[in-house]
């Protein structure tokens, strides 16, 4: 049963391939194999860009980027990735690829080739239009290339069926100091849909900057007064908020 990929609906803890911890205990408990799959297609459906959709996967992406001499590829990201935020999350920037294609045909070709090449450990893509038959092709390519394929798509597609092995819906409920995200597993091996649960994503880079700013407030102000400098605080977290990291 394990070799053919068949699964029993009453067993959520069945072992289906290798997994990597999500970094969030509450999420790992709901994922088959207690973590994100290391191959196959995962669909992440979210209500709007910049809610922390990438940050949710960063602990796993960080581990994968440092575990093997393989690439993590981003295909046509909607925003330029914020390198300091990725580095702060532990991602090896030397193993990061950003691939951009203009036409739909070239986009799908680059996506499939990246997945099946065996040179990529994970591929993240934002397909605007993709058919079920194409998702099935990516599923096969992902297994052959032993590559975790993540498709970030609109929540409007949540009610539709999909060949993706794992489907996760994200909804935002932000607060001042963190992002509280509501998560629901829509499709998974071994069980039915999960109940909706909340995950808190702390903005580590913003928190670090606040700590540094608090420690240096007096000396910086004194120096500015002496040199008549204009101090304008820059919110680093806003600079990368739109990227979802």
Neighbouring residues of 167: CB distance < 8 A, sequence distance ≥ 6: 42, 43, 45, 158, 185, 186, 187, 188
Predicted local distance difference test score (pLDDT) of residue 180: 85
Is the pLDDT at 212 greater than 70? The verdict is no
Query: What's the mean pLDDT in 41-62?
Result: 92
Task: Kindly indicate the confidence band of residue 236, based on its pLDDT and cuts at 50, 70 and 90.
Answer: very low
The rounded distance, in Å, linking the Cα atoms of 41 and 135 is 8
Is the pLDDT at 165 greater than 60? The verdict is yes
Predicted local distance difference test score (pLDDT) of residue 221: 42
pTM of the model: 0.78
Query: What's the mean pLDDT in 160-185?
Result: 86
Is the pLDDT at 11 greater than 80? The verdict is no
Torsions phi, psi of 93, nearest 5? Answer: -65, -25
* Among the ranges given (33-42, 63-72, 223-232), the one the predictor scored with the smallest mean pLDDT: 223-232
Per residue in 187-210, pLDDT tens?
Answer: 998 888 999 999 988 765 444 444
Q: Please return the burial class of 111, using the count of CB atoms within 10 Å of its CB with bins 0-12, 13-18 and 19+.
A: buried
Classify 19-204 by CATH class.
alpha beta
Per residue in 96-105, pLDDT tens?
Answer: 999 999 999 9
Query: How far is Cα of residue 11 from the mean position of the Cα atoms in its chain?
Result: 26
């Amino acid at each position: 049963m394990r070799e053919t990929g068949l699964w029993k609906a009453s067993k959520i803890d069945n072992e289906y391939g290798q997994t990597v911890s999500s970094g969030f205990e509450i999420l790992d408990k709901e994922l088959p194999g207690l973590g994100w799959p290391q191959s196959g297609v995962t669909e992440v459906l979210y209500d709007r860009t910049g809610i922390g959709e990438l940050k949710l996967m960063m602990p796993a992406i960080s581990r994968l980027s440092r575990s093997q001499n393989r690439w993590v590829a981003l295909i046509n990201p909607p925003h330029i990735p914020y390198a300091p935020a990725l580095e702060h999350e532990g991602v090896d920037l030397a193993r990061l690829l950003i691939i951009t294609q203009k036409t739909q045909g070239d986009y799908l070709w680059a996506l499939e080739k990246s997945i099946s090449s065996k040179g990529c450990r994970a591929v993240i893509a934002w397909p605007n239009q993709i058919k079920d038959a194409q998702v099935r092709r990516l599923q096969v390519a992902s297994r052959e290339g032993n590559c975790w394929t993540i498709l970030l798509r609109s929540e409007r597609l949540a009610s539709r069926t999909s060949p993706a092995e794992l489907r996760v819906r994200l909804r935002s409920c932000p607060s001042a100091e963190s992002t509280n995200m509501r998560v629901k597993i829509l499709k998974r091996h071994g069980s039915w849909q999960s109940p909706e649960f909340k995950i808190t994503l702390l903005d580590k880079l913003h928190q670090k900057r606040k700590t540094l700013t608090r420690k240096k407030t007096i000396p910086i102000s004194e120096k500015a007064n002496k040199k008549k400098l204009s101090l304008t605080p820059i919110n680093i977290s806003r600079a990368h908020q739109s990227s979802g990291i």
